[in-house]
Amino acid sequence: MFTAQEHLNHVQSFSSSRDVACMAICSRQCPAAMAFCFLETLWWEFTASYDTTCIGLASRPYAFLEFDSVIQKVKWHFNYVSSTQMESSLEKIQEELKFQPPVVLTLEDTDVANGVMNGHPQMHLEPAPNFRMEPVTALGILSLILNIMCAALNLIRGIHLAEHSLQVAHEEIGNILAFLIPFVACIFQCYLYLFYSPARTMKVVLMLLFICLGNMYLHGLRNLWQILFHIGVAFLSSYQILTRQLQEKQSDCGV
């Protein structure tokens, strides 16, 4: 199989047969027959040096690195030996190219060959957005610790009340939910602070509302200072979430 890919000043030529593929980069002035004659010579040299079992068992990159010396010899031969000495080989390749012309690919065709022709739908890929957040501050760490503490208190009180209510009565379901919903809201606040999430402002306001309403509902089970503490931690966490922005993406140097 003969394939040629055209660039501005060079042509990449490919030849493959019996699980061995060869590639050469030549100037545009180099005749196609010369390029494919070079590749065929390399193919014969390689298959003469390595059997199919050795080729099939190759499992690491550069497994045939020692073959580079043969490549350099063949390259020197084609660069410095006159074409008259290779006339028979060139005539054979020219005849093959007449009956089986090489497939010429452009850079645009390469994208299609790597995608649609291999059974994958053609997709226009865009760079992945950079969602790296700014570094965590000391005040932010403090808000996380306090938030986790509030979540733990809500969970412990909610589970304890649930066990007691199941044995006594079912009328305190509202109090149990008033503990467990702020618990979930506190955990979600920690997540919003650590990781980027779309529509953060709306989520922060919603979590803050859940915590405030839950603690106001628990006025009979918590004193004023406990309620103010939980609400104050919720406001501190909300402020830290909203002030922690995305880092500016560093300029891409094209490396």
Residue 94 and residue 145 share a domain:
no
- Domain assignment present for 5: no
Residue 160 and residue 233 share a domain:
yes
> Which domain-ending residue is among 99, 118, 149?
99
**What residue type is 179 in one-letter code?**
F
Residue 142 and residue 95 share a domain:
no
Residue 95 and residue 142 share a domain:
no
C-alpha span between 132 and 134 (Å, rounded): 7
Residue 142 and residue 230 share a domain:
yes
- Domain assignment present for 41: yes
- Domain assignment present for 175: yes
> Which domain-ending residue is among 50, 75, 99?
99
- Domain of 88? 10-99
Residue 231 and residue 144 share a domain:
yes
- Domain assignment present for 125: no
Question: In sequence order, what E strands does 58-112 have?
Answer: 103-105
Query: What's the number of domains the chain is made of?
Result: 2
Identify the sign of the CA torsion 48, 49, 54, 56. negative
Q: Which two tokens stand for residue 228?
A: 């103010």
pLDDT tens digits for the chain (255 residues)? Answer: 455 555 556 677 777 777 777 787 777 777 777 777 887 888 888 888 887 777 777 777 677 788 888 888 888 877 776 555 566 666 777 777 676 676 666 656 555 555 555 555 555 544 445 567 788 889 999 999 999 999 999 999 888 888 776 555 555 788 888 899 999 999 999 999 988 888 889 999 999 999 999 999 888 888 999 999 999 999 999 999 999 887 765 444 333
Q: Considering only CA atoms, which of 114, 193, 183 is closest in space to residue 149?
A: 183
